[in-house]
Amino acid sequence: MSAQTSGLHHVTAIAGDPQRNVDFYIRGLGLRLVKKTVNFDDPSTYHLYYGDEAGRPGTLMTFFPWRGVPRGRIGAGQSTSTAFSVPEGTLGW
């Protein structure tokens, strides 16, 4: 049985320092921190959600930030880059 989907709800990645992550995605890219919870598999770390002003599915990028985490290695089937599309004329904002 195959599930039908209209797209991704969100993409999750591992990050290092939580404050550097927040600074980059909010101050650098201008995204909004739409939700902050804990990682339910590891309640000692955050689960940070960034997205549009309403946190709509498909706009979300989330992170599990762990200070001092070793740099990752590329593996089979792993995403190695993420790209954003933005409406024409909005990059100046």
- Domains of the chain are 10-65 (3.10.180.10)
Q: Read off the amino acid at residue 7.
A: G
Q: How far apart are CA 41 and CA 30, in angstroms?
A: 29
- State the pLDDT at residue 77: 78
pLDDT along the chain (93 residues), means of 10: 69 91 90 92 93 81 91 80 80 68
Count Cβ atoms within 10 A of the Cβ of residue 61 and give its class: 0-12 exposed, 13-18 middle, 19 or more buried.
Answer: middle
- State the pLDDT at residue 55: 77
